[in-house]
Amino acid sequence: MEKDKLKLITVTLLGLGALLAMILVIPITILINPQGTAEACVFEQAGFACEEDYLVSKGGRVLFIAQITNGQQESVEIEDVSCVMGNSLPEYDNWQNISLSAGTGFDTADIGLECTDAQGNPLGGGKGDFAGRMYVKYRYKGDPPGLPPKIAVAIVNGGIE
């Protein structure tokens, strides 16, 4: 009978200790790394990913630096990219022309592009928060000539350094 009471007390104390640890650890974790301060670049469709991405203010302009990773089964040719504040698709003449190849097997392409508003106006430099989109025009290497490019969309959020 004494052993059963001792086991019950031990299990109860362990449960209360675990509950107390969760009550303390979760708020401390949120305080140390609050949501919304980490850089984020997430593609809406499968196959592409961002790595080592960040926003920086340089020379009165906002630049987005990242590696685009191709995780698809086909190689792609990236033709144009655009970084836009908000969620509007940029006007055609506001695309920044680049020519990058990203093969299969998670090949990466390094990019550095200026972020603008939807009309192509440069964003003023300085620290602050950014919420926008990166648009990537690409074609599969095997696409027939004349086929319009596909557009991959990434949500870009973070603080401007």
pLDDT digits (tens, 9 = 90+) for 68-77: 888 888 888 8
Amino acid 62 reads V
pLDDT digits (tens, 9 = 90+) for 44-54: 988 888 888 88
Q: Where are the domains of the chain?
A: 1-34, 40-160
Q: Looking at the predicted structure, is the pLDDT value of residue 13 above 80? A: no
| Backbone torsion region of residue 128, taken as left when φ is above 0, otherwise alpha when ψ lies between -120 and 50, otherwise beta | left
Assigned CATH topology for domain 40-160: Immunoglobulin-like (2.60.40)
CB burial of 12-28 (b: ≥16 within 10 Å; e: otherwise) equals eeeeeeeeeeeeeeeee
Residues 6+ apart with CB under 8 A from 124: 60, 62
Q: How many CA atoms lie within 13 A of 87 on its CB side?
A: 5
- Its pTM stands at 0.69
pLDDT digits (tens, 9 = 90+) for 111-160: 888 888 877 888 877 788 889 999 988 888 889 989 999 999 999 999 88
